Amino acid sequence: MSSSSDFQQDRHSFSGSPQKWTDFELPGDTLYYRFTSDMSNTEWGYKFTVTAGHLGRFQTGFEILKQMLCEERVIPHLPLARIWEWQVGVACRQTGHQRLKAIHLLLKIVQCSSQGDCDLTLLKPLWQLFTHMENNSCHDSAKPGILLPLHRALAELFFVTENRVTELGSLQEYLLALNTEDHLHRCTAQ
């Protein structure tokens, strides 16, 4: 892979198992690649993902925002509503450690926000993910009591959020916003 068609600039060559591949960054907006097989195997080849942006960009933004949310004198000057909206979107789109970090920031924002700072109804997709995980963990008797990190992080987020909206007096509106009418009917029937 290279940033030039003659494969002379920013060249990265890989061979062998996927574990030998490493993330790398190429400047510019074009990627050139060449795949050559030695015909020694019958597998189809390699799969790779190209992402726009800079390597480490998420981690840098996470660290900066985390530090800003830890500074009480800075919080009143932050556009928390916009940060909240953006961060919920990040938590919904990302996977793995990046999703966990995004949820960590959501938790910090909930803890330091005042009423009206955060549109808590935006949490609906994460609530659906959490309830799906809850339902699946109840049916998985092979590992009783063991929660995955994402499950634990979402449980903490929703526990703290529920306590926060209770303090602010808007628990009913929050619960109605997160659940579908169908889900509420099932709960009532139970």
Q: Indicate the pTM of the whole model.
A: 0.65
Residue-wise burial string across 48-62, b where 16 or more C-beta atoms lie within 10 A, e elsewhere: eeeeeeeeeebeeeb
Q: Each residue of 37-50: pLDDT tens digit?
A: 777 777 777 777 88
Q: Each residue of 48-100: pLDDT tens digit?
A: 788 776 555 777 788 889 999 999 999 999 999 999 999 999 999 888 888 99
The dihedral built from the CA positions of residue 162, 168, 173 and 177, taken in this order, carries a sign that is: negative
Do the beta carbons of residue 107 and residue 120 sit within 8 Å? no
